[in-house]
Amino acid sequence: MFKPIDPFLKILPQLDVHGYTEDTVMTVVNDFIRDNYKLKKKKILVIHGNGQHILKNKIHKDLKHNKLVYKYYLYNLNVGCTIIELI
């Protein structure tokens, strides 16, 4: 099946967390958020994949309590990605 390539994804800073465990994923995600906040980026992308939604659920649960995160949502063309908007 052909998936459209969205050029929007190419311009966002990206972090691919495939291969991380539920226990270690938030360490790298929080570092990525902090670094991009310092660089004054407003939107970033975390690629967690589909699978059994373990990483997605952990990331979304912890993003609710992150003070640097304005909002987050699944990318509509690929639900294996979460777009995070920073304050």
Residue 33 lies in a domain: no
Residue 74 forms part of a structural domain:
yes
67 part of a folded domain: yes
Among residues 86, 80, 84, 69, which one has the least CA distance to residue 17? 80
pLDDT of residue 67: 98
Domain that holds residue 72: 41-87
Query: Tell me, what's the pLDDT at 62?
Result: 98
Give the number of domains in the chain.
Answer: 1
10 within some domain: no
Does 51 reside within a domain?
Answer: yes
pLDDT tens for each residue of 27-79? 999 999 999 999 999 999 999 999 999 999 999 999 999 999 999 999 988 89
CATH number assigned to the domain comprising residue 77: 3.30.1370.110
pLDDT for 7 equals: 75
The predicted-structure confidence for 10-29, as pLDDT tens digits, reads as follows: 899 999 999 999 999 999 99
| 27 domain-assigned | no
How distant, in Å, are the alpha carbons of 3, 6, 21, 51 from that of 43? 23, 15, 24, 24
Beta bridge partners of 78: 75
